[in-house]
Amino acid sequence: MAVPPPPPPPPQPPRGEGRAPRAARDRYPRWLWWLLAGAVIAIFVASLAAPSERRDKIDYGALLSQTNDGKVDANDILSIVTKVVDHGQGLAVDVFFSNGAELTFNGCGTAGSSIHALTDLVDTSHIQVS
């Protein structure tokens, strides 16, 4: 008697089924990991290049050395103001100094952006800087 041929093998499962889950690094294209690494490095480098908090301080000693009488008064401070920006009514007023420092007065902005100097903040009746 003749032996019947063996049964055919079962069909292969479609790709992706029946496999163990892949690791995260295999789920995403390789270029995506390089892009992510580049973004992290770029953020790190940008944080190093950002201005430090030290620049936002007015050095009293340097200001005192610029005076003739050895005293710091309002005129000495006014002499180092480079720009004043009024962002509008109820918004901020930014004061910029020659050393790169910036002082923000929140909520002091005026209608028509009429504050153009630090003295305008003091002269405005509803704002008192002390």
Q: How many CB atoms lie within 10 A of CB 46?
A: 9
Phi, psi angles (nearest 5°) of residue 128: -125, 120
Extents of the domains making up the chain: 56-123
Q: What is the pLDDT of residues 102-124, one digit of tens each?
A: 888 888 788 777 777 777 776 55
Q: Which residues of the chain have pLDDT under 70?
A: 1, 13-25, 50-68, 122-130
Instruction: Give CA–CA dist 79/97, Å, rounded.
Output: 9
Q: How many CB atoms lie within 10 A of CB 12?
A: 8
Query: Per the structure block, which two tokens stand in for 119?
Result: 């003295």
- Whole-structure pTM value: 0.46
Query: Per the structure block, which two tokens stand in for 106?
Result: 């929140």
